[in-house]
Chains A and B, each alone.
Chain A
Amino acid sequence: MTTASKTKTGHLSYNRTVGVAAMQGRGFYYPWAVSVAADGRYFVLGRGSDSDPRGTRYTVMDYDEKYYGTFGEFGTGEGQSLWNAGTAIDSQQRLYQSDEGLHRIIVRNLDGDLLNTWGEFGADEGQLNGPTGITFTANDELLIVDHQNGRIQKFTPEGEFIGSFGTPGSGDGQLNLPWGICVDSAGDIYVADWGNDRIAKFTGNGEFVANYGSSGRGEGEFDAPSSVAVDDNGYMYVADWANHRVQVLDSDGAFVDVHRGESTNSKWAQEFLDTNTEEKEARATANLEPDIEFNTDDLHEESAHIEKYFWGPTHLVFDNDGRLLVVDSNRHRLQVFDVG
């Protein structure tokens, strides 16, 4: 039996929730990652569902939930994708998206027009097997988490191979089904080493620096982290995916803060409820934080029952105003936090 964990605040302060569940159009259907453009717009990449392809799309919005439209679709054709995984924007404001189902990268402009598709399945240099997290260095080099090959690969924006580092395994510098990636202001690279329950840090040249965290549920411990972001002060923000929480570590890896999520009604959610008054009234009488004796220690269950909690956070990134966006995938929303 477990009970809901205590929600701790400190370094992380809940700001708001944006987005709402929607199979198509305005909203998200299993959002998986988000990129922030120079103009402040959020490009939210949807994973969608294997049984319903409509969610395999970008939804474009901003912090105030102004809706700009959607683009992208499920499929194997040019510009289509199966398993959307990561997204990033380069200095020329081109939008990149990884597809771990088709092992390729799709490039668009911010209007959604297709510019390029590249990538080839395999394990040789420059080939990909399950590209997931992607990010750009300050020099506009694209880093791709080539997760099934247990390595990070570096490409030009046009898809020319530059180099790689990491091998599959659990030793220092090795990776086990890694997922997310980010680069800090000093150019160091951080990888969410999903299968090893840790964050791995490398120099910009791919030399191993350190691992942070270990397996578990305690402070500074992780269960299958999916994503990491680092602020200008060196704090690491980790989507502790299977613990369904976000943790903050300092630059030495010491624990700073943890949050289980605190979602409230987004603007879009409120608009839905305001036009569906019966559901709104029933919801108003419901206790959305019930005290339940769970028959499993799987935190997935807590998050399935308690709506405000993160449920499978897949990605986190800062917007242009320094707010932390947490992609709360199973709840089809972004929870936004102020930091510091």
Chain B
Amino acid sequence: MTTTMTSEKALMAHLMRRAGFGASSEELDRLVEQGYDETVEQLLDVDRPNRMSDNLIRRYHSEYSGMMGNLSAGANWMYRMVSTDAPLREKLNLMWHGVYATGYSKLANGKVLHDQIRMFERHGMGSFKNLLIEISKDPAMLVWLDNVQNHNGAINENYGRELLELFSMGVGNYSEHDVKEAARAFTGWTIGNTEYMTMKCARDSVWPYGRLSFHFEFKADDHDDGEKEFLGHKGNFNGEDIVDIICQQPATADFLSRHIYSFFVADEAPVPEWPYKPPRDPAAIAALSNVYFESNYSIKAMLRFLFKSDFFKSEEARFQRIKGPAELVASVLRLTEEYGQPNISMNPTSQQAQFMGQWLLSPPSVEGWHWGTEWIDSGALVERVNFASERFGNIDSPGVRSVVDRILDNSDEDLPPDEVVDRALSELGITEISDNSREALIDFAKKQSEIATAEQTPRERVVNILKLVGATPEFQRA
């Protein structure tokens, strides 16, 4: 293993890979100067992010404004991931989208899925209790998990079941009776114009004037306000009461902690295996659960604790996560800086994540995607490597041009092979690399120099190395 930068910078690179989409060497230098704890606070301060404006995106991309389909809604989101100065917010949106996976196939309306992501943006770092209430009122979720069909006297258990199983506590911590009682409590939680909206969904109708956005509506006359017994509590509970009781459960604290650990520290087993497989680091989960209760369910407090913890900072934690496809695409595009302004190519670019296995806003099921090594199969790996290599190989991209300038110190002279490789690794935020990978890169750089032709410039030779760095296991991980 070779280290390519100072330990402080390596730690900052780790933080930015996990809490963001990576950072250039130049940005890391600035953040090291600023300090680790201050950078954590900056990442958590997400109230007013700077990013490409909605007006600018909507002006050029008609469908990113109307969002009848999901490709455009996903591509719109990609602009945010690529251009924001508050990357943790978008990273967290990705996590919540995986946990509260809601998909286009049943909704036929990209805008309402976009609205759900915006809800995550507002509540994803606040109180977990508020987040659960908001997701329970979210119009896309109400249709996706059939709560629009959950009526007083004729319950539909789908949402109540998933709320307990996938959204808060996990299998083994509640009974079938609790599921039914939760469903009763959520009767009357629906969307306005239910019949018309759900018919438009079912018919994939854009007529007569495009899609209509959904809005939450509470129908008191369809709500079962009778007494319920839920997780040992008795009362005339409504949905908010159910969420309140859920949030008091130690199982909920552990479940949320494990999600956060899995997303930000190290890949865990897929959620369905959690009842049978202990956490990778039980002490870390216990510590996070403790923060959950001490902070009155504050997600931000849990994240602050996590980013400052030894288990996060540990060298053993580094490069232990496989970058998710959307995360990989965003991390490459932030380095290449090719989307400083809207470009018609964003649609096919954003779609690359789909070819790698993650079609934003179209998760495979309510379980979401299985993260970690399941992102990697032979086809997806080829897509991932090709994408990174192709983008880093485009010297016309402003970010690539800057990287090459910095590597060559703005000169037009070749550097020794080991130096050019180490500089390329550092510029792309790779703090540590296996000896095998580094030797292979140096070997390539040597051979490239030996067969150099007059037509090929030193800059082009650097670009060839950047392309290979994008293909390393280290770059594909976070």
Whether B208 contacts A268 by the Cβ 8 Å rule is: yes
Provide the bound-state CA to CA distance between A279 and B205, in Å: 9
B75 surroundings in chain A (CB, below 8 A): 50-51
A279 surroundings in chain B (CB, below 8 A): 196, 199-200, 203, 205, 207
- Asked if B397 is at the interface of the complex by the 8 Å CB criterion, the answer is no
Whether A333 contacts B209 by the Cβ 8 Å rule is: yes
Whether A287 contacts B344 by the Cβ 8 Å rule is: no
B206 surroundings in chain A (CB, below 8 A): 21, 23, 332
Whether B122 contacts A269 by the Cβ 8 Å rule is: no
Given contacts A286-B195, A290-B215, A300-B58, contact A20 B207 (CB under 8 A): yes
Q: Which of B66-74, B324-332, B379-387, B448-456 contacts A (4 or more CB under 8 A)?
A: B66-74
B192 surroundings in chain A (CB, below 8 A): 287, 290, 292
Whether B69 contacts A292 by the Cβ 8 Å rule is: no
- Asked if B149 is at the interface of the complex by the 8 Å CB criterion, the answer is no
Whether B215 contacts A292 by the Cβ 8 Å rule is: yes
Whether B65 contacts A300 by the Cβ 8 Å rule is: yes
Tell me the B318-349 residues at the A interface (CB within 8 Å).
344, 346-347
Provide the bound-state CA to CA distance between A99 and B7, in Å: 51
- Asked if A90 is at the interface of the complex by the 8 Å CB criterion, the answer is no
The number of residues on chain A lying at the interface, defined by a beta carbon within 8 Å of a beta carbon of chain B, is 56
Contact of B122 among A30, A82, A295 (CB under 8 A): A295
The number of residues on chain B lying at the interface, defined by a beta carbon within 8 Å of a beta carbon of chain A, is 39
Whether B196 contacts A263 by the Cβ 8 Å rule is: no
Provide the bound-state CA to CA distance between A194 and B122, in Å: 29
- Interface 0/1 of B257-274, CB less than 8 Å to A: 000000000000000000
Contact of B196 among A47, A194, A286 (CB under 8 A): A286
In chain A, what residue has the closest Cβ to B58?
A312
Provide the bound-state CA to CA distance between A268 and B207, in Å: 10
Q: How far is the CB of B96 from chain A (nearest CB, A)?
A: 17
Contact of A21 among B203, B210, B213 (CB under 8 A): B210
Whether A263 contacts B209 by the Cβ 8 Å rule is: yes
A301 surroundings in chain B (CB, below 8 A): 213
- Asked if A305 is at the interface of the complex by the 8 Å CB criterion, the answer is yes
Q: How far is the CB of B470 from chain A (nearest CB, A)?
A: 26
Interface-centre pick from B59, B195, B213 (highest chain A CB count, 10 A): B59
Given contacts A21-B209, A266-B208, A285-B195, contact A83 B65 (CB under 8 A): no
Given contacts A21-B210, A50-B72, A263-B209, contact A290 B193 (CB under 8 A): yes
Interface-centre pick from B66, B72, B118, B346 (highest chain A CB count, 10 A): B66
- Asked if A224 is at the interface of the complex by the 8 Å CB criterion, the answer is yes
Q: Which of A62-70, A133-141, A159-167, A270-278 contacts B (4 or more CB under 8 A)?
A: A270-278
Interface-centre pick from A23, A49, A329 (highest chain B CB count, 10 A): A49
B344 surroundings in chain A (CB, below 8 A): 50, 82-83, 101
- Asked if A8 is at the interface of the complex by the 8 Å CB criterion, the answer is no
- Asked if A330 is at the interface of the complex by the 8 Å CB criterion, the answer is yes
Main secondary structure of the interface of B (DSSP, over half): helix
- Asked if B355 is at the interface of the complex by the 8 Å CB criterion, the answer is no
Whether A30 contacts B63 by the Cβ 8 Å rule is: yes
- Asked if A307 is at the interface of the complex by the 8 Å CB criterion, the answer is yes
- Asked if B436 is at the interface of the complex by the 8 Å CB criterion, the answer is no
Provide the bound-state CA to CA distance between A242 and B199, in Å: 30
Provide the bound-state CA to CA distance between A312 and B205, in Å: 20
Provide the bound-state CA to CA distance between A272 and B59, in Å: 29
- Asked if A186 is at the interface of the complex by the 8 Å CB criterion, the answer is no
In chain A, what residue has the closest Cβ to B134?
A295
Provide the bound-state CA to CA distance between A304 and B381, in Å: 39
Tell me the B48-69 residues at the A interface (CB within 8 Å).
54-55, 58-66, 68-69
In chain A, what residue has the closest Cβ to B209?
A331
Q: How far is the CB of B392 from chain A (nearest CB, A)?
A: 24
- Asked if A265 is at the interface of the complex by the 8 Å CB criterion, the answer is yes
Provide the bound-state CA to CA distance between A45 and B423, in Å: 51
Interface-centre pick from A273, A283, A288, A333 (highest chain B CB count, 10 A): A283
- Asked if B184 is at the interface of the complex by the 8 Å CB criterion, the answer is no
- Asked if B212 is at the interface of the complex by the 8 Å CB criterion, the answer is yes
Q: How far is the CB of B324 from chain A (nearest CB, A)?
A: 22
- Asked if A190 is at the interface of the complex by the 8 Å CB criterion, the answer is no
Q: Return the 5 tightest CB-CB contacts between A and B, nearest first.
A: A269-B208, A49-B63, A30-B62, A286-B196, A286-B193
**30 pairs of residues in contact across A and B, judged by CB atoms under 8 Å:** A21-B206, A22-B207, A23-B206, A30-B62, A48-B62, A49-B72, A50-B347, A51-B63, A51-B71, A51-B72, A51-B347, A179-B59, A242-B55, A268-B208, A269-B207, A269-B208, A272-B207, A278-B199, A282-B196, A286-B197, A287-B192, A290-B193, A292-B192, A300-B58, A300-B65, A305-B212, A307-B209, A312-B65, A329-B65, A333-B208
